[in-house]
Amino acid sequence: MFIRNALLSAALSGLVALPAAAQDAPVLGYQLYGTGPEKVVTLHNWMGDATSFDAIRPWIDTDAFTFAFADVRGYGASRAIEGAYTSDEIAADVLRLADHLGWDHFHLVGHSMNGMAGFKTVMRDHAGSRRIKSFVAITPVTPDGYPASNEDRAFLWAAIDDDKTAKDAFAGLTGGKLNATWAERNTDYLRLTASPTALRGYYRMWLEEDFSEAFRAAGVTVPILVIGGRNDLPGFQEAYYAETVAKWAPDIRFAYIDDAGHFPIFETSALTAALIESHLRANH
């Protein structure tokens, strides 16, 4: 209840922007942080909403950057917004949010499933107005979708509704090195902030979509940084990225964190913030 009440309190105080009422073109809920001239939109992972970025806030240069921590449809401040739950929809929503904010140019940060959606967003933007200055993909699903086995798929589907499976997923994604409290609290947080309908829809997105041929053919020149964790699952590891996005984007580099798994925003927050900020500064 604390997380939900904190969100509602922040919304009422003007810190969180709730979605626009227009059903034909909704604006994602978001929270602004910082007052700097460099604008940044962030997109969270499948197992948490925009507040999953809270751990890096103490390490952000708020005089240099303004972050819009956005909730995709079905999560957090956008929980009431329904949709198709696809990468194309997220890309359109991000660009609409930038319009709403009056941001002609901005940087993009995407984590996990929204790393994948981020790749789609920069691809679409590259073919159009080219407003995105740089992209940081944190432990991203690649444009070909996550290479899951049938057993993996069944496990992840079960995590949508079953708390024990969700806890096991949080533990596995960090290499089992964090304690049970970590898994329990994140599972409770997931239940408070994410719509089961959205979880099911985005499950299909990051496991079944494949726009890798289109991404490769697009020749996206946006500078991209991929942040990986050495304790993550194989589909998020250096060997897999070397055979996929490393070959598909002409301006891409990689940073791998030894003491992190799938959630470096939590596991190594200060270092992750520094890596993000360094990339944004280099491409302002």
pLDDT tens profile 208-262: 999 999 999 999 999 999 999 999 999 999 999 999 999 999 999 999 999 999 9
pLDDT tier for residue 1 given thresholds of 50, 70 and 90 = very low
- Domain 17-282 CATH (choose: 3.40.50.1820, 3.40.50.150, 3.30.70.930, 1.10.300.10): 3.40.50.1820
HSE-up of residue 8 (Cα within 13 Å, Cβ side): 6
pLDDT tens profile 68-83: 999 999 999 999 999 9
pLDDT tens profile 40-68: 999 999 999 999 999 999 999 999 999 99
Amino acid symbol at 271: L
